[in-house]
Amino acid sequence: MINYRLKKLEKEGKRIKVGVVGAGRMGTGLVCQIAQMQGMRTVAIADTTLDRALEAYKISGIKEKDIIITDDVKTAIDSIAREKMVVTKNGQIIPECPVDAVVDATGIPEIGARTAFNSIMNKKHVVTLTVEAVL
């Protein structure tokens, strides 16, 4: 059922925009999985190590020319509006961007809590992809 809804969103040009905070093993795996799906798109990745975020996009098939590196929220918003992918060191700008859902894949409970709080305050869906957050 979800697959049909995602295909419909893709056909209508209304993809679910996802921002991922944390480009380690789990975050990169998620980015690669979303790249294989219809109806969803990872539009922003944050990691304190930019190379990991860039690598996540690279292995998911995104071309370097389609990636904008910025820590400025206005530049990130503009880039996403122009259908570019955003890479940032500052995961706390992602909840302010035009995304539908924010995924915390940092594995760091304090950052995950801050990301979730900022996402909720910006009326974004929150997904925790981290064993540390499961109690």
Tens of pLDDT, residues 65-108: 999 999 999 999 999 999 999 999 999 999 999 999 999 999 99
- b or e along 59-96 (b: 16 or more beta carbons within 10 Å of the residue's beta carbon)? ebebeeeebbebeebebbbebbeeebbbbbeebbbbbb
CATH number for the domain running over 2-133: 3.40.50.720
Tens of pLDDT, residues 45-75: 999 999 999 999 999 999 999 999 999 999 9
Tens of pLDDT, residues 16-33: 999 999 999 999 999 999
Q: What is the pTM of this model?
A: 0.94
Domain boundaries, the chain: 2-133
